[in-house]
Each structure stands twice: as structure tokens, then as C-alpha cells.
């Protein structure tokens, strides 16, 4: 299966980065195809205007619905299709999680709608919900200037789960937040040299005793999780 990823943004250059690293490899081997679009290509005035003042007053500007609607018509089409997943990154969205990444890694088409300014006219989201499967997702409880960085983060989390993307799929199963894994943070990692600036790799990891190593790693994960993410231990 090839996953098609579309990105609608006034800064489509953000997505040039998808041509490099592992994701670039996924594009080369046909696992994903990436299309970035400039929302301003669907404006018709000299200034290629995409924003206007908020109805009801308030600070900042709101993204006009017209360019979004015309871009949807051109990029996705005018017929409803629930197999198309449209993602609106937004601070008011549902927290994006590994399980959401897992679910999205099985779909064939994802369209990211990257807002800017104060956000997108809500009727755009309401319209999209009549046509496609819509996800309003948040990366976390902090404020970004737009949806592009979130779209990149969600893309990486999703694409790495596509069968055939990772050389060693077993490694995915052991990661934090993977299905079946207890919700534990990953234990501390070490590699050679064994001694570095007066600090040594924990002896147990050099013992070759797999049982003791597994026990040490689990204990470290439990301690770390209890300390940093008590919410995961509920
Ligand atoms: C600053 N400015 C006025 C306050 C409201 C947000 C706005 C900026 N902005 C516009 C579109 C847009 C999309 C996502 C996000 C975003 N922020 N934090 C997250 N976890 C995000 C996600 N995912 C921010 C966005």
C-alpha cells in the first residue's frame, strides 16, 4: 500500500524536509507519496489574501474559508469519501497519541490542513466533516505559531509505523507507548566506550547476564516513569 500525504499551508516549504532521511527513503521505495500545496494558489486577488478580521471582534486574523474550500475541491475532490483522513492540527484538538499514530498508519490518504494566524474559519472544519474523516489533533499543551510543525511530527510518528518502513519492525514493539507495552518510559541507554569522562557503563549491562539486564532495565523504566510521568502509572 502507498500512503498519499497532502499538506495545505501558506508555508509549503516546511515540507521540503520530508525529502530527506528515513522519510525520503520511504518516498523513494514507494511507501509514501508527498504533495505540499500553497494555499495562496487558491486565492484570486492581487495580494493572494488568505485572512481577514475575526467576526465578533478580537485580536489577530482568521483564515478565510474560501481558499480552503477551493483547495479541497482541487486536491481532494467534491464527492464525499470517508476513506480520506483530514487532519487539522490545533491547540484545541484531541491530544495526539501513539494509538492515533497506529490507526493512521493503516489509512491510504491523509490531508494535513495547516492553519496560521489565530486559526481557520470553523466552517472549513464543519464542511470537511461532511465530506471526509476529520481529526482535530493537538501535539501538546503549548502554543505553536501554526500547524506545520505539528503536521511534521504527526507524519513522522505515523509513517514509521507503516509496514516495511522500519528495517527491524521488532524494535517498534519494544518502544514506549507501543501497543502491548506497559506505559513505561524507556530505560537509560549506553554504548562504548565503557568508561567516558570518569563515568562507567553500569556493570550489569556488561555482565552478559540477560535476566539481570532485563531486570535492571525494567526497574530503571519503573523509576523513571514514577518520577517523570506518574500519570502513566495510574
Ligand atoms: C498562536 N495562535 C493564537 C492562539 C491559537 C494558536 C495560533 C497559532 N496557530 C494557528 C494554527 C495552529 C495550529 C496548531 C497550533 C498548535 N499550537 N500548539 C499545538 N500543540 C498546536 C497543534 N497541533 C497553533 C496554531
Structural domains of the chain ordered from first start: 3-160 (3.40.1280.10), 169-232 (1.10.1270.20)
Between CA 23 and CA 150 the distance in angstroms is 16
Between CA 201 and CA 195 the distance in angstroms is 7
Instruction: Report residue 118 CA to chain centroid gap.
Output: 21
Digit-coded pLDDT (tens) for 159-188 = 999 988 877 666 676 676 776 667 899 999
Ligand 1 neighbourhood includes 61 CB (under 6 angstroms)? no
Q: Which of 119, 135, 140, 151 best tests ligand 1's pocket when mutated (most atoms within 8 Å of CB)?
A: 119
Digit-coded pLDDT (tens) for 47-100 = 999 999 999 999 999 999 999 999 999 999 999 999 999 999 999 999 999 999
**Atom 8, ligand 1: residue with shortest CA distance:** 145
Element (H, E) at 43: none
pLDDT at 179: 67
CA angle 191, 192, 197 (to 5 degrees): 105
Between CA 121 and CA 144 the distance in angstroms is 18
Digit-coded pLDDT (tens) for 133-145 = 999 999 999 999 9
146 CA to centre of ligand 1 in angstroms: 5
By CB atoms closer than 10 A (0-12, 13-18, 19+), residue 4 is: middle
Q: Across residues 203-230, what is the average pLDDT? A: 98
Tell me which residue has cell 516549504: 13
- The widest CA-to-CA distance across the chain, in whole angstroms, is 70
What percent of the chain is predicted at pLDDT more than 70?
94
The HSE-up count of residue 30 (CA atoms within 13 Å, CB side) is 1
The contacts of residue 187 (CB under 8 Å, 6+ apart) are 216, 217, 218, 220, 221, 224
Tell me which residue has cell 494558489: 41
Confidence class of residue 211 from pLDDT cuts 50, 70 and 90? very high
Amino acid at each position: 500500500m502507498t500512503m498519499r500525504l497532502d499538506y495545505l499551508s501558506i508555508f509549503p516549504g516546511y515540507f521540503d524536509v520530508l525529502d530527506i532521511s528515513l522519510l525520503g527513503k520511504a518516498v523513494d521505495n514507494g511507501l509514501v507519496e508527498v504533495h505540499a500545496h500553497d494555499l495562496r494558489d487558491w486565492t484570486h486577488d492581487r495580494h493572494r489574501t488568505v485572512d481577514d478580521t475575526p467576526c465578533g471582534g478580537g485580536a489577530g486574523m482568521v483564515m478565510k474559508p474560501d481558499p480552503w474550500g477551493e483547495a479541497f475541491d482541487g486536491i481532494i475532490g467534491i464527492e464525499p469519501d470517508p476513506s480520506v483522513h483530514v487532519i487539522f492540527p490545533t491547540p484545541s484538538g484531541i491530544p495526539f497519541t501513539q494509538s492515533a499514530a497506529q490507526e493512521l498508519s493503516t489509512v491510504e490518504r491523509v490531508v494535513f490542513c495547516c492553519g496560521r494566524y489565530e486559526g481557520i474559519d470553523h466552517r472549513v472544519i464543519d464542511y470537511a466533516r461532511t465530506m471526509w474523516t476529520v481529526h482535530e489533533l493537538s501535539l501538546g499543551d503549548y502554543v505553536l505559531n501554526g500547524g506545520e510543525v505539528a503536521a511534521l511530527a504527526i507524519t513522522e510518528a505515523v509513517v514509521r509505523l507503516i509496514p516495511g518502513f522500519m528495517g527491524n519492525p521488532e524494535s517498534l514493539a519494544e518502544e514506549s507507548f507501543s501497543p502491548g507495552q506497559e506505559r513505561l518510559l524507556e530505560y537509560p541507554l549506553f554504548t562504548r566506550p565503557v568508561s567516558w569522562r570518569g563515568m562507567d557503563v553500569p556493570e550489569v549491562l556488561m555482565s552478559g547476564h540477560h535476566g539481570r539486564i532485563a531486570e535492571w532495565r525494567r526497574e530503571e523504566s519503573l523509576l523513571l516513569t514514577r518520577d517523570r510521568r506518574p500519570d502513566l502509572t495510574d
